[in-house]
Structure 1
Amino acid sequence: MKKIIASGKTIEDAVRNGLTELQVSAERVNVTVVEKPSKGLFGLIGVRAAKVELALLPDAVETAKSESVPAVAPAPVIPAADKPASPSASADAILETERFIIEVARTMGLDITIARNDSKEGLVLALSGTGDLGMLIGRRGQTLDALQYLVNIVANRYSNSHLRIVLDAEDFRDRRRRTLEELSDRLAGQVIRTRKEVVLEPMAPHERKIIHSQLQNHGKVKTFSKGEEPNRRVVITLRHG
């Protein structure tokens, strides 16, 4: 089994660099974290780079040279499957996903429990536990969103039917939704007073959807999005006519 060591500013960067070197996609390798990036003074990243080991799966060795890696595809670090998924693997997929989350939390020094709840958005895995779960949430939920992305990859690797998982911690999703709804109403009032459009900071698609939904029936303002991911923004402007 061919193996290489790759490094980068973050673990995802290191994996992406390794995939580029091997010229394969993420599902064709097993990834092991050799060294996590260190944090410097005041939390700055870069004192020590992340290092990962990428091992080509047996069926990828012969075709590695013909594989291309998507230029902008995120490179998730996911555990190797012990056996192929079966048609009824959804329950096993969820268990594997929860195990992955617990392991990630453990590397951060957190002891968590996971509760399952069904919603119209999908299966919600709600995290609780001891320690600072804010580490899992990150600034405005960015860390939680990144972990949710990885969690969905893990879940669907073990399941033959598509799974949609929403990751939550300490009711962050609900609190963030209320915050965005209040922000929408406040900025709509500002647009009406000043008669000038407001351009919000870049947001994830699900957060932009909250803004659009909150103001879609507003009588005086309307919303639209502009820009390209990941810098796509919501614009609130006066409704004319």
Structure 2
Amino acid sequence: MSDVTETTEFDPTATATEADAGDETALTPSQLEEEGDIAADYIEELLDIADLDGDIDIDARGGRAYLSVNASEGSSNLRVLSKPDTVNALQELTRIAVQTKTGSFSRLILDVGGSRDARASELAVLVDKAIARIEEGADSAALPPMSSYERKLIHDIASERGYSSESEGEGRDRHNVITRA
């Protein structure tokens, strides 16, 4: 059985960034909370069906509902779901479940077993390598195609390091190009 821990520290000023928002408007704290609750119920049911133990934390980050599923104390069977492709697939299924209940597009983020933090660390290394190429004389450095969430992280990491990042390409070929700011 999974435990749901709800974090209700919603930032009412949090809005989606232009790079990632599309035409969607920012959700209110109560809408984010509703998305989080619906998503947590869906994930909890999925964990029960799969006979996996996990603790679910609900939060809001950057104008999105953020669910984190971590192994219960003394249990490590959750790592079977923490592979990046599996987390992305579960996130899409969870978004569909939320959209079905709310009737609105969902931008929620799902993290299983710390996989999002691990991926953010990998992306930081990619950005550092791209910056090294620029410092060695390249005008820009293109990164491989990735999801909109990962491109958003790249934008943030590049900005933190004093560089600029633009998304280029279409569909599955959409990627970041880093340049000097």
Name which of 175, 180, 185 aligns with 2:128. Answer: 185
SS at match of 1:230: helix
SS at match of 1:123: strand
Code of the aligned partner of 1:232: R
Specify the alignment match of 2:76 in structure 1.
Answer: 131
Code of the aligned partner of 1:118: A
Specify the alignment match of 2:94 in structure 1.
Answer: 151
SS at match of 2:171: coil
Cα offset for 1:184?
1.0
* 8 Å CA contact 1:112, 1:127 repeated in 2: yes
| Larger Rg belongs to | 1
User: How many pairs were matched up?
Assistant: 149
Specify the alignment match of 2:60 in structure 1.
Answer: 118
Cα offset for 1:218?
5.7
Q: CA, structure 1 residues 190+151, in 2 after alignment: closer, same or farther (shift >3 Å)?
A: same
Counterpart mapping for 1:1-241 below 5 A: 94-129=36-71, 130-138=75-83, 141-159=84-102, 164-195=107-138, 197-216=140-159, 222-237=164-179, 239=180
Cα offset for 1:225?
2.4
Q: CA, structure 1 residues 120+197, in 2 after alignment: closer, same or farther (shift >3 Å)?
A: closer
Return the alpha-carbon distance in structure 2 between the equivalents of residues 222 and 114 of structure 1: 35
More strand by share: 1
Code of the aligned partner of 1:128: N
More helix by share: 2
The TM-score with structure 2 as length reference comes to 0.63
Identity %: 28
Specify the alignment match of 2:20 in structure 1.
Answer: none
Return the alpha-carbon distance in structure 2 between the equivalents of residues 151 and 106 of structure 1: 15
The TM-score with structure 1 as length reference comes to 0.50
Structure 2, gaps ≥5 residues long:
1-29
**Root-mean-square deviation (CA), in Å?**
3.3
Return the alpha-carbon distance in structure 1 between the equivalents of residues 59 and 140 of structure 2: 39
Return the alpha-carbon distance in structure 2 between the equivalents of residues 89 and 118 of structure 1: 10
Q: Higher RCO, 1 or 2 (CA under 8 Å, sep at least 6)?
A: 2
